[in-house]
Amino acid sequence: MEDQQTLPSLGILALLPGTAEEIAHDMAEAFLYLRAQKGFGAWSVTKQEVLLYASALAAYERLGAVKNGFLTTALCTSITNIIIAQQAAMVATISASSAAAASSAT
């Protein structure tokens, strides 16, 4: 269940402007900040939940440049490339399934 929550947030983080190190640093800072807040202790909130909140905070801060219109084109291009890759993977899966079904039918 936790993977279903964390994988989309990883996809969003991958699209953010900045290096992986910068984003990881932002996430670590947000995680430590949240853990220090009342109600976000280890007994009340799981590590995965705090990481989801931290990724949301990091994404919100990083998307400030997108709000100003500077990175809109790059973000759109990245999303388009992801959609194309998903469609290509789907076509490959259907082709392989069809080939397997045809070979087992004969």
How far apart are the C-alpha atoms of 52 and 5, rounded to whole Å? Answer: 8
**Which residues of the chain fall below pLDDT 50?**
1-2
Written as six digits, the tokens of 18 are 């900045």
Give DSSP secondary structure letters for 14-65: HHSSS-HHHHHHHHHHHHHHHHHSTT-STTTS-HHHHHHHHHHHHHHHHTHH
pTM for the model: 0.56
CA-to-CA dists, residue 14 to 11, 23, 65, angstroms = 5, 9, 16
- Position 2 scores a pLDDT of 47
